[in-house]
Structure 1
Amino acid sequence: MISRGIITLENARKYQAVYQDRLDHFLYGVLGNHSDATFEHLQQVSPILSTVVCAVGALHAASTDYETLRAEFVTLSGALTFSRRNNIDDVRALCIGAFWISDLSSSLVTMAVRIATELQLHRSFAKALQGDRESYLRARLHYLVYACDHHLSIPYGRPPLTRECEAVQNVRDFLDCRHANHDDARLVSHVLRWRVWTEIFDTLGPNVDRPLSDVEILLVRRFGNALDSLRVEWTDKLGPDIHVGNYPWKGVGM
């Protein structure tokens, strides 16, 4: 980016700091092991991740560099479509873009799910529980893709692409990992909530205009109780975060 004159080094560092120091914590720390990386390091190991981080930082800094960075990110994302060398940093970049760049969300999350599946992130759960850090990072990225996919599908009447695999069914166990942290607790709480919403979607379907039967009304009450139980449970468990304040509590109540 710098050598091609897309942005200056000074601005790149500034935009990355905007994202890295605050915005990433809204997304449960999707940067993972790059959370403290310098711009130079991130640009070297993953140009697409560096680009989307700067783009989102520029967006929130209300900078005119945003459109240029967005265009560069779109170009890099398009190159992933037929690549056979995609990696987990590509998935991270796509998740960040899907969460923050709304007009690209649907396309980006679809690609993120496909690449995550090809990388078999869902199979990292068992080794993560055994303490392997690389497997832990891969497993939590799978949960991030799951949350992103559900966040951008069910509320819009679309079936999610990610499945209720073993890692999702046993998501509470993920907090037993030796590497688990506060962001993981928030992530697990959201996966649990999306599991309930998935059951609601699969049971009642996407047609919100049809009347419910008596049996379905009882099911709605059961689903409501399940969501209320999760809200109470995780409101008690999640405290203020040093980066995003009371957002974890607000997220549970959404």
Structure 2
Amino acid sequence: MSGLEAAITKVAEKISCPELLDLLRLEEFNESHTSLPEPEGATDQADPSLPIQDTHEATAQAWQVVNDPKSGPAVIPSTVVSEVATHQTAPSADPRKDLICLGLIPAGAAEACFATYSHRLDHFVYRILDTPQSLSEIRQRSPLLTAAVCAVGALHVDSDHFAVCYREFTQLASSQMFSKKHSLDDIRALIVGAFWLHDISWTLIGAAVRIATEMRLHRCVVKPQVSSRDWYLQTRLFCLLFVCDHHFSVAYGRPPLTPRDFDYPTVADAFSRCAFATEDDSRLLSQVEIWSLSTKIYYMVGIDTDESLPKSSLPQLQRLSIAIDSWRADWSGRFLTSERIGNYPNQGVKLHYHFTKLYLCSHAFRGAHDPASDSYNISEELEDFANLAVHSATSILRHVVEDVEFQSFLNGLPAYYDTMIPFAVVFLLKVLAKDSPAVRVDRAGTYSLMERLSFTLESITAQMPKQHLLSSVASSLRNVVDSGRQSDKHTPQLTAMPGSAQSLENLNDIHDFQPMYDANFITNFDFFGPQLGSLDSTFMEYSNG
């Protein structure tokens, strides 16, 4: 390293400029190391150092009309216009390097992040990595997947390397936008990021669905080949894509990107006959089934929450409620205890049942507010649904508070959980805020339960990374509950639990919290607004001051 470079390094360290340090490490690496070999089946990731005009020339293409003699008249329209490469020679570019080769993270730290992900987190979401693998195998296959696994792993071990892993992952994911060649590992990487990186989940899953569609993964569902391992891997990846998409679409008032007519019975039957299928696949199929029901709920109720549900929708509402009950009966207690994640497979069935039941039955409150009496006037036909919603919301809170094993899962579960738990709290606060003769709720007991939940989450997140979404949820939840209780004239003030009176400012001082979102983001969340998407808008409102 020259004297000038050494001086710049010292300045960068002095002013804490990681971007400059990363650039200097990259230059030093390029001078003294060789890169990893190009992995087989690699995608064509764009080199940011390549001039735009050269990239365009390297991929220049022509098009021609073709008449395939093997196909009939009823073909996909676009297949008659075929792309023809012009065989231009592209300027030579450096082989791809992953974030370890670039010196962005030490190999030992990357191994720790990978172990956290592969040994624990991956099992919460039914295994995205297709086979038991080492970090070196992942590196050979995909720098994008390597960055995704390291970023998500770092997020859950309070690692100082999260920021640089996150930055590298987003840069690599961005380079996929105009790439014309993709692999299954590209989709896996985007799904990994979408499940846990809440702030970019919707962007990532959108890209993953587009790539999967271009690769025609959706066709695997309608043409089972139970003896083919390739069919098995592609089909289960599409199932993962379906579930991840619904985590961040239906629950946020957005239409799903994956097909709404998912042929669940065909896939379930094929997997039951597939020699490669495991219990993780059964768990995955249970999620496909419950999210298929959620999709039906979404299209039945729509997103206009100002209007009451028409009486004509009552039979369908009842059928969906029965279907959710049947789903729970079919899958409860069905799974073995996992070596990696304990009894979560069965606990997940219980929580997803209550999440879905709450999502369905909460619509009984739509358009029910009477401004004249400042109360909820719920029709007799919807009274049972209103009370079922309260029951499910309460059950969610009670499970988090009372089940110690489940509490150990919270630093690991996908971001959907970090949304649904506060969703249940705010729903109950909204219900308690108005009189409603038709709704049976224990006011004092419910406020006490929410207080206990606040204390529980504060304790759990005290040792969690500050960037984790649940840290922001926990630090703001007490303010929301306290505000709701103080404005409720029907309920006497409760005594704070031991240790719970500690202010948010003191918590931040002790644990050096710097949440990704402002600690009060939940305060103005309007439950009866446009689905759960209000959480996102409230995040942004407080983040922007």
Asked whether the equivalents of residues 125 and 136 of structure 1 are also in contact (C-alpha less than 8 Å), the reply is no
Q: Determine the structure 1 residue equivalent to 2:287.
A: 190
Q: Determine the structure 1 residue equivalent to 2:104.
A: 6
Aligned partner of 1:180 among 277, 283, 292: 277
Asked whether the equivalents of residues 122 and 167 of structure 1 are also in contact (C-alpha less than 8 Å), the reply is no
Pairwise CA distance, 1:212? 1.2
Pairwise CA distance, 1:82? 0.5
In 2, the alpha carbon distance for the partners of 1:129 and 1:222 equals: 33
Identity of aligned residues (%): 40
Q: Determine the structure 2 residue equivalent to 1:104.
A: 200
Q: 5+ unaligned residues in a row in structure 2: which ranges?
A: 1-98, 353-545
* Partner amino acid, structure 1, of 2:272: L
Asked whether the equivalents of residues 114 and 135 of structure 2 are also in contact (C-alpha less than 8 Å), the reply is yes
In 1, the alpha carbon distance for the partners of 2:245 and 2:326 equals: 23
Q: Determine the structure 1 residue equivalent to 2:488.
A: none
Asked whether the equivalents of residues 94 and 112 of structure 1 are also in contact (C-alpha less than 8 Å), the reply is yes
Map 1:15-164 onto structure 2 (within 5 A): 15-33=113-131, 36-125=132-221, 128-164=224-260
Q: Determine the structure 2 residue equivalent to 1:206.
A: 303
Pairwise CA distance, 1:215? 2.1
Give the TM-score, by structure 1 length.
Answer: 0.94
Greater RCO (Cα-Cα under 8 Å, separation 6 or more)? 1
Pairwise CA distance, 1:3? 2.6
Cα deviation per residue 1:44-81 (whole Å; 9 max; x = unaligned)? 11110011101111111101100100000000000110
Pairwise CA distance, 1:210? 1.6
Asked whether the equivalents of residues 194 and 205 of structure 2 are also in contact (C-alpha less than 8 Å), the reply is yes
Asked whether the equivalents of residues 145 and 189 of structure 2 are also in contact (C-alpha less than 8 Å), the reply is yes
Output the aligned Cα RMSD.
1.5
Asked whether the equivalents of residues 221 and 266 of structure 2 are also in contact (C-alpha less than 8 Å), the reply is no
In 2, the alpha carbon distance for the partners of 1:3 and 1:30 equals: 24
* Partner amino acid, structure 2, of 1:4: L
In 2, the alpha carbon distance for the partners of 1:196 and 1:2 equals: 43
Larger helix fraction of residues? 1
Asked whether the equivalents of residues 98 and 105 of structure 1 are also in contact (C-alpha less than 8 Å), the reply is yes
Q: 1:144 to 1:134 in 2, by over 3 A?
A: same
Q: 1:168 to 1:27 in 2, by over 3 A?
A: same
Pairwise CA distance, 1:236? 3.5
Pairwise CA distance, 1:127? 6.0
Asked whether the equivalents of residues 154 and 162 of structure 2 are also in contact (C-alpha less than 8 Å), the reply is yes
Q: 5+ unaligned residues in a row in structure 1: which ranges?
A: none
Q: 1:242 to 1:132 in 2, by over 3 A?
A: same
After TM superposition, the structure 1 stretch with the greater mean CA deviation from structure 2, 240-249 or 51-60, is: 240-249
In 1, the alpha carbon distance for the partners of 2:327 and 2:288 equals: 11
Aligned partner of 2:266 among 162, 166, 170: 170
Q: 1:52 to 1:188 in 2, by over 3 A?
A: same
In 1, the alpha carbon distance for the partners of 2:265 and 2:305 equals: 27
In 2, the alpha carbon distance for the partners of 1:136 and 1:23 equals: 22
Pairwise CA distance, 1:99? 0.2
* Structure possessing the higher radius of gyration over alpha carbons: 2
* Partner amino acid, structure 2, of 1:172: A
In 2, the alpha carbon distance for the partners of 1:205 and 1:165 equals: 17
Give the TM-score, by structure 2 length.
Answer: 0.45
* Partner amino acid, structure 2, of 1:44: Q
Cα deviation per residue 1:114-139 (whole Å; 9 max; x = unaligned)? 00111111222466543100110000
Q: Secondary structure at the match of 2:332?
A: helix
Q: Secondary structure at the match of 1:237?
A: coil
Pairwise CA distance, 1:238? 2.1
Q: Secondary structure at the match of 1:240?
A: coil
In 1, the alpha carbon distance for the partners of 2:335 and 2:163 equals: 36
Pairwise CA distance, 1:193? 0.6
* Partner amino acid, structure 1, of 2:203: S
* Partner amino acid, structure 1, of 2:251: P
Asked whether the equivalents of residues 177 and 207 of structure 2 are also in contact (C-alpha less than 8 Å), the reply is yes
Aligned length: 252
In 1, the alpha carbon distance for the partners of 2:248 and 2:222 equals: 27
In 2, the alpha carbon distance for the partners of 1:177 and 1:3 equals: 39
Asked whether the equivalents of residues 30 and 141 of structure 1 are also in contact (C-alpha less than 8 Å), the reply is yes
Q: Secondary structure at the match of 1:159?
A: coil
In 1, the alpha carbon distance for the partners of 2:230 and 2:153 equals: 27
Pairwise CA distance, 1:167? 4.4
